[in-house]
Structure 1
Amino acid sequence: MASTDSITLPAPFDAHVHLRQGNMMRLVTPHVEQGGIRMAFVMPNLVPPLTTPEQTFAYTKELQAIAPNLHFLPSMYLSAQLTPEHIRQAKAGGIVGVKSYPRGVTTNSDGGVGMEGYGVYDEVFAEMEKQDMVLNLHGEVPSDVDGDGTCVLNAEERFLPHLREINRKFPKLRIVLEHCTTAAAVECVKTLPANVVATITPHHLALTIDGACSSSLGFCKPLAKFPSDRAALRDAVRSGSPKFFLGSDSAPHPSSSKLPALQVAHVTAADGSPAHEVTLPSPCAAGIYTSQNLVPLTAEIFERAAIPLACLEGFCSTFGREFYGFPAPQGHEVTIRRVEGKKVDKAFGYKTDKGDDEWVIPFMAGENIGWEIAA
């Protein structure tokens, strides 16, 4: 690191990024490098999900063709079809992790883990431990509001016993609790061995539930929580603990999904009188997009949160790389510098696979930030 007006980081690493498919993939994949990232751990929740090594190898090849200078770390989707033999094949082919999703909780998670729990995957986890692969956990349990009272506000805390049990059964398995949002998750990770770590997103360092609920652009899974939870995340980063590092969970969605138009329904009255129109709200997609300016945005959020800029290097570069076993290569450093009047882009336009005009709206669209990538 240099002065407070210019910061050089060794080959920043984003340990959690969504790159999608088709034309959206072609839009957002170059953004990762533009945002200052040199290595990216890529999520497998596509349609269909990447449940086999062959599918993952093919997808990684597509990404590499779009962004040949980026180092991609591929992952597979934890599913009932996954076998120990798949794990061996994956390891041999360079796949570094398996991602677990709770069923139905977030984007493209219908094939994830349901109420049956994680014990059914013991053979897979045992082989992952043997092969030294990483288990990446979306740390929530499915909501069951009318049953046990689980909802978006307590789903992460209620997941933590599963994390402890997996670690108990497989003490050498490397585990990442992805995008943690609660003080309870931070404390849990602190108490577990060094091979259990967590990623934290920049937007969870910025948002609380107020911001998440006041605009669909702040809606993501897991949901931002209470001010006390945000304070715990900030303290975890401020502490300089290598257990907590950058995983942006940058998740692009078309604007029609993030800002859905009201749907029109035609309703016929009980007395048979002519139908009239009523408007109904559409669901909003869960996800916040940060890839295009990720490193400068992270520096901006650090300053707003009174997190020392000296913490950037560990958080953005060294801690995650050390955990995954990929030291920063020489010559891939990234420098950010202070700037005045820099605004986050309001939207990124592209054509959908059907040829329609669409946009991806980034986090803090149109706001001023005080950092940019140095040319």
Structure 2
Amino acid sequence: MPLEKFQGVELPASADFHVHLRDGAMMELVTGTIRQGGVNTVMPNLVPPVTTVQHALDYWDKLHKIEPNVTFLMSLYLHPSITPETIIEAKRAGITGVKSYPAGVTTNSSVGVVDYASFYPVFEEMERQDLILNLHGELPSVDISTAEQDFLPTLFSLHHRFPRLRIILEHCTSAAAIEAVKSCGSTVAATITAHHLYLIKDDWAGKDERAGDPFCFCKPVAKTPEDRLALLRTAASGNLKFFLGTDSAPHPVQKKREEPPAAGVFTQPYATQLVLDAFEQGCVEGVLKEESVTREVLEGFLGGFGRAFYRVEDERKEKITIGKRDERIMQVLKDAEGATEVVPFRRGQRTWSVAWK
């Protein structure tokens, strides 16, 4: 078995620096699965957008009541109502960063950014206050496969204008995005999802006469086999600029079966396990060398590099133990009444197991 050397190995708890926990019934359903994935630190997103400090604090309170054993790193949504004064207030309240979505590029981004120049005073204050700018790196495009690449000049421009501003390019999906982040200075990093370590365009768009799987459809969309390999190799490279942000996005089953399906892949209950599965699969394919997948690589990508970039500590100092025990990913997650149902990524397939120490 590839990666057998990790059977029973103890690791620091994982951290997920981009996850959607929703509100209402969906929040109640999925928030309790965070620790199932070996994770005790997350940066949550929300609809409607969190545009005030008080809204962020209220949301933190709701999440904390559901799962008090998780650290929630709160952020604001970049919106015309955000001012330099908002940034100062956010820093005082312990908010970590501001998330930017270009208008219309993905689910629930209708109030996103149209013109970055109008936010330059906000970015200047973020530099002074040392808050992180989290970028959904896409531009509206006729071809959704090029939306991320079309955004990269914007990344370079913001980094050049605000060299001390810590920037994260969220959920990289292409070799071009990986190289862009590498070419920037130390204040620019990126997250990589678990599902993009598996998926290519054929999975969501279909091939020949076979329809794609709507549960594999997300934005940014999965791209070419070469892009997938670039992501996998980067995640396993030990490069401290890249760390886990699952972008786990639960949608009710019916929303995923509509045409077009809601954009989002649900991975939260298996965040750590799916990364281990991907690394193991990479070794089987000969894409990764087993000796290069070290304990240090796992610790870094699964949480260490992200915590260092965010400058946060795991105050609980918790550990997880990983192993292969013939566990399978659940077919569906649903509440007691069956009113809310979510289908996890790679449903029914075997996966690694995670136990808390």
Q: Does the CA contact (< 8 Å) of 1:180 and 1:186 recur in 2?
A: yes
Question: 1:322 maps to which residue?
Answer: 308
Q: Following superposition, which runs of at least 4 residues in structure 1 exceed 6 angstroms of deviation? A: none
Separation (CA, whole Å) in 1 of partners of 2:338 and 2:79: 33
Q: Is the 8 A contact 2:6 2:322 kept in 1?
A: no
> By how many angstroms is 1:105 displaced?
1.3
Aligned residue in 1 for 2:39:
37
Which of 123, 128, 131 is residue 129 of structure 2 equivalent to?
Answer: 131
Secondary structure of the 1:152 match is coil
Q: Specify the alignment match of 1:304 in structure 2.
A: 281
Deviations 1:146-200 (A, max 9, x none): xxxxx21111011000000101111000000000001110001001011100000
Which letter does structure 2 place at the counterpart of 1:196? Answer: V
Question: Are the equivalent residues in 2 in contact too, given 1:336–1:374 (CA < 8 A)?
Answer: no
What's 2:110 paired with? 110
Please report the RMSD computed on the Cα atoms of aligned residues, expressed in angstroms: 1.7
Cα distance in 1, alignment partners of residues 340 and 21 from structure 2: 16
Shift of 1:102: 1.3
Residue 156 of structure 1 aligns to a residue in which SS? helix
How far 1:343 moved relative to its partner? 1.1
Q: Are 2:248 and 2:267, in contact at CA under 8 Å, matched by a contact in 1? A: yes
Structure 1 distance, partners of 2:352, 2:28, is 28
Whole-Å separation in 2 of the counterparts to 1:325 and 1:11 = 16
Cα distance in 1, alignment partners of residues 12 and 338 from structure 2: 39
The answer as to 2:286 corresponding to 1:288 is no
Match of 2:333 in 1: 348
Name stretches of at least 5 consecutive residues in structure 1 with no aligned partner. 146-150, 261-281
Q: Counterparts of 2:4 and 2:40 in 1: how far apart (Å)?
A: 20
- Aligned residue pair count: 340
Residue 344 of structure 2 corresponds to residue 367 of structure 1? no
Q: Distance in 2 between matches of 1:5 and 1:134?
A: 36
**SS at the partner of 2:147?**
coil
Q: Does 1:4 align with 2:2?
A: no
TM-superposed CA distance for 1:309, in Å, is: 5.0
Kindly report which structure 2 residues correspond to 1:143-292, keeping only aligned pairs within 5 A, or say none. Answer: 143=141, 145=142, 151-213=143-205, 214-260=212-258, 282-292=259-269
Compute the displacement of 1:330 (Å): 5.5
In structure 2, distance between residues paired with 1:184 and 1:37: 29
Q: Which residue is equivalent to 1:64?
A: 64
Cα distance in 1 for residues equivalent to 2:235 and 2:250: 25
How much has 1:238 moved relative to structure 2?
Answer: 2.4
**2:36, 2:354 within 8 Å by CA — same for their partners in 1?**
no
Give the superposition deviation at 1:77. 0.4
For residue 348 of structure 1, what is the amino acid of its counterpart? L
More helix by share: 2
In structure 1, how many angstroms separate the alpha carbons of the residues matched to 2:294 and 2:325?
15
Distance 1:256 1:128 in 2: 40
Bigger-Rg structure (1/2): 1
Give the TM-score normalised by structure 2: 0.92
> For the residues of structure 2 that align with 1:330 and 1:38, how far apart are their CA atoms?
9
Report if the CA contact (8 A) 1:179-1:201 is conserved. Answer: yes
Q: Which runs of no fewer than 5 residues in structure 2 stay unpaired?
A: 206-211
Distance in 2 of aligned mates of 1:373 and 1:346: 20
**How far is 1:374 from its partner?**
5.6
Query: In 1, are the aligned partners of 2:102 and 2:140 still within 8 Å (CA)?
Result: yes
Is the contact made by 1:198 and 1:244 (CA closer than 8 Å) also made in structure 2? yes
Query: What is the rounded CA distance, in whole Å, between the counterparts of 1:201 and 1:106 in structure 2?
Result: 16
Report SS of the residue matched to 1:41: strand
Cα deviation for residue 25 of structure 1 reads: 0.1
Change in 2 beyond 3 A, CA 1:235/1:168:
same
Matches of 1:345 and 1:259 in 2, distance apart? 19
Q: Which residue of 1 aligns with 2:21?
A: 19
1:338 paired residue number: 324
User: What SS class does the counterpart of residue 340 from structure 2 fall into?
Assistant: strand
The answer to whether the 8 A contact 2:201-2:222 is kept is yes
**Is the 1:16–1:43 contact (alpha carbons within 8 Å) kept by the matching residues of 2?**
yes
Shift of 1:42: 1.1
Distance 1:139 1:123 in 2: 21
- TM-score after normalising by structure 1: 0.87
State the shift of 1:331 in Å.
3.6
CA contact (8 A) 2:12 2:320 kept: yes
Tell me, in whole angstroms, the C-alpha distance in 2 between the residues paired with 1:90 and 1:329.
21
Equivalent residues of 1:300, 1:370 under 8 A apart: yes
Amino acid in the other structure paired with 2:233: D
Structure 2 CA distance, aligned partners of 1:331 and 1:140? 36
